[in-house]
Amino acid sequence: MDVQDLHAEAWAGIQKGYELGRLGHAYVIVGSPRGSGLYFAEEFLKLLFCESSDRPCGVCSSCRRVGGHKHADTLWIEPQSKARQIKADEIRELVRRITQTSFEGGWKAGIVLAAECLNTQSANVLLKTLEEPPPKTLLLLVTDAPQALLPTIISRCQKIVLSSAGTEKADAVWRQPLLDILRDLPPANGLSAARLASQMKGLSDFIKAGIAEMVEADIGQNEAALDESKLKEILAARTLARLKEVLAEILQAMLDWHRDILLLTSGVGEEHLIYGEERKNLAEQAKLHTQGSALKAMEIVEGIGTRLNRNIPELQIFDEAFRKLVRR
């Protein structure tokens, strides 16, 4: 399913702005940095750099390089796994690149994935560039936690919110059960870890069933002419693709929770918390951590995402991760 199908209104606005020469210089894309937000940013860049008259074609050299994050006139930045912050030097390098002459004589673009991980210094460096952007330059800030960005950054960007009825429904299904699991962290012992792992597996199974149901209904409405075997292939492929995206969003939410704990153990003010409404629970959990153990917990959660991409049973992955999170 392409970007027009997923986010028709937002995409139509971008296309019209491009055709009229009225694109903004900076956009905050509210969506998963590993799913919908990332995909939309890639399509946006393909529109700019595509070599075909029918933009974006997706197959020309420029489109392929954009998709591989290898285009010479783009620079991608995301938080490093250990620090979980985007540092000022990284933003300075982005600014340096976009103020130079384009390699291919056209647009220059900087993309910041998980932009909520900008620290105070890096956010201020970026803010100066947003105030006086170079010509033919595009900055894309992809985040699923826009409330964590400085209001002054938000005010200088156009905002694209990627959502649909189906996505909102899926989010409503998993967010509250996941919060219940996060509030019980860290596990007190192996038995508690096993219980939380079982809850995570149950949540994953429930999401999978709901996605399959939504995809099947969509296929039934739009592709009824296909034979049964082809329908089964499409159902399986689309269900898996959406499941991966939702699981990525869930893991990002878990990382954001542990990022808040890391901030609290570092003495950072509560105004920077993503889960500000959960500050009481976060503060209690932060008392059980040092900066080092909070950072280690984030690495354990990141490891869940890596292992889910391998042929390992989900329950085993969750169980081993939660056992590593047992309070020492």
Measured in whole angstroms, the distance separating CA 108 from the mean position of its chain's CA atoms is: 22
CB 27 within 8 A of CB 140: yes
Count other Cβ atoms within 10 Å, centred on residue 271: 7
User: What confidence score (pLDDT) does residue 4 get?
Assistant: 40
Whether 293 has a pLDDT exceeding 90, the answer reads: yes
State pTM to two decimals. 0.53
Whether 192 has a pLDDT exceeding 90, the answer reads: yes
User: What confidence score (pLDDT) does residue 116 get?
Assistant: 87
Q: Which residues contact 83 (CB under 8 A, 6 or more apart)?
A: none
Q: Give me the chain's average pLDDT, please.
A: 83
Q: Tokens standing for 248?
A: 């990525």
Please compute the mean of the pLDDT values over residues 48-69 and round it to a whole number: 89
Please compute the mean of the pLDDT values over residues 153-169 and round it to a whole number: 71
Per-residue pLDDT tens for 220-259? 544 444 455 666 666 677 677 777 778 888 888 899 999 9
Whether 7 has a pLDDT exceeding 70, the answer reads: no
Per-residue pLDDT tens for 78-88? 887 555 688 89
User: What confidence score (pLDDT) does residue 148 get?
Assistant: 80
Whether 183 has a pLDDT exceeding 60, the answer reads: yes
CB 283 within 8 A of CB 211: no
Whether 26 has a pLDDT exceeding 80, the answer reads: yes
* Straight-line distance from the first to the last Cα atom of the chain, in angstroms, rounded to the nearest whole number: 46
Whether 139 has a pLDDT exceeding 80, the answer reads: yes
For each of the domains in the chain, give its residue range(s) and CATH number, in order of start: 3-163 (3.40.50.300), 166-324 (no CATH)
